[in-house]
Amino acid sequence: MQTAETSASRPYRWIEANSIAGALGAEIDGVDLSCDLTDEVMAEIRAASLRHQVIFFRDQKLTPEQHVAFARRWGEILYFPLSDGIEGYPEILEVKKTPADKKNVGNFWHTDQMFAVRPAMVSILYGRQVPPFGGDTMFSNQYLAYETLSPGMQRMVRGLRTVSSSSHLNRGGGEDGMDGGKSVFDSTGTAIKIRDPGSARMTGAHPLVRTHPETGRKSLFIGSHTHNFEDMTEEESRPLIDFLMRHSTRPEHTCRFRWRTGSLAVWDNRCTQHLALNDYPNETRVMHRITILGDEPFAS
């Protein structure tokens, strides 16, 4: 398990990374993301992301152009398949909750786009308007989720593959919960509109235990989009899925980030889950998200 770094152990020259929890997560200081970052600075940011799984930047003032430019330094942008981006910037998905909305986007443990053939690598979320309190995001370390299973359970789950669906939610509302064909977020219709209701469901199968292509570590690859195990019924699959979801999001596997306007988070979907808390009634929260295309999950 990661621990807070001392000044002597920090491996960076250009940035400073301060852990926010024992399981995962670090705030990055000394970086202005509106600037054209050097390759050396970007390499340290990417190294911090691999080390901490989710990294956070405070007090950033980004135009949409600068947000997109930073995102492109991570790889190929993954356009949201069900919805258009904001006007003029198709790369940027607006995630918005107003006082009229009772539900919010992503209020369930999940990994972005895990139902795709090539799920998201990283997600880059920028806080444009944040309520004075509430609206935190939780993150869970899926390396720890796998490593803390018993040896017998590890042997059993290594051979399984999950089937995930964009239209499946595990006992909850949120992303991709159909609202009469109006919205993919089961809100009041004001959050994110689907582009084509007829193509709003996607299904993919991946190893339950995936190998990270950069770190080589194994992690659980599961979330609320997981419907069943391949070659098994949902009834047969559900008891183990429920256990693994509870285990993978135990408090000691998580961190919690409190947003401020101008905060930006980058998380690695290949080894984390996340959940957006819905505890800010009568407030407005506006976030801009860009997602980077990942590889096809594999097990080794």
pLDDT in tens, 68-91: 999 999 999 998 766 789 999 999
Has residue 109 been placed in a domain? yes
Identify which has the larger pLDDT, 175 or 93: 93
Has residue 117 been placed in a domain? yes
Please report, rounded to a whole number, the percentage of residues in the chain having pLDDT higher than 70.
85
Has residue 7 been placed in a domain? no
pTM of the model: 0.88
- The Cα–Cα gap between 80 and 272 comes to 19
Give 166's pLDDT tier (boundaries 50, 70, 90). Answer: confident
Q: pLDDT at residue 199 above 90? A: no
Give the pLDDT confidence score for residue 12 in this predicted structure: 92
Has residue 8 been placed in a domain? no
Q: What is the CATH number of the domain that holds 146?
A: 3.60.130.10
Average pLDDT value for residue range 239-262 = 98
Residues annotated as part of the active site: 110, 112, 274, 289
Q: Which domain holds residue 134?
A: 16-293
Nearest to 148 by CA among 50, 52, 220, 241: 220
Give the pLDDT confidence score for residue 84 in this predicted structure: 81
Has residue 39 been placed in a domain? yes
Average pLDDT value for residue range 110-133 = 96
Has residue 274 been placed in a domain? yes
Give 167's pLDDT tier (boundaries 50, 70, 90). Answer: confident
> Domain total for the chain?
1
Give the pLDDT confidence score for residue 168 in this predicted structure: 57
Do the strands 161-165 and 203-207 form a parallel or antiparallel pair, or are they unpaired?
antiparallel
- The Cα–Cα gap between 139 and 125 comes to 13
Q: Kindly report which listed range (17-21, 113-117, 211-215) carries the lowest average pLDDT score.
A: 113-117
Has residue 1 been placed in a domain? no
Has residue 20 been placed in a domain? yes
